[in-house]
Structure 1
């Protein structure tokens, strides 16, 4: 039976689980097929990409520094919203401000 593998992010800052321990990827040398890892206790380990790909227990840590939505994507901005969505968001922000501070603007000084 062939076991399905998930994608492993091998970029500096990502965290993988290898040998039942979490390792942070500190350096990737694709031209040599090497990956440098560091454990939380400071232990360093150098391994090959091939070894990681063929290790059945190697996986991405759930505590990886990258969120799925952040992987190589441009961050969302206010300008990405349509005019209608901006109006709705502004209304929701005003409601939250009023809930937290008692004022829709968020401050008693900016009340008209």
Structure 2
């Protein structure tokens, strides 16, 4: 059961995060948004892909007779697992490449391009 002290602690934590975010410069705020967006995407893909894998495992270990509905759900869960985990890996690779390219642009010496 949640007590009023826990509610106050949660509210204080949220207020601290919001206050810290408001005090950031615009450049740093954009960096925080980009990081939060990336991690949100990673976590979302992992949760949906993981839930689909759990359902596939349940299908494989079930002792009940197989019905058409079960096969349809298996196919949908396979599709979800492949699509979301594949998209998560692709996003990670694309963002890694973008970061590497950005770091290379920042460290390039103008005299090397002559």
By relative contact order (CA 8 Å, sep 6+), the higher-ranking structure is 2
Q: TM-score range by the shorter chain?
A: under 0.3
Q: Which has the higher strand share?
A: 1
Q: Which has the higher helix share?
A: 2
Given the two structures, how large is their TM-score scaled by the length of structure 1? 0.22
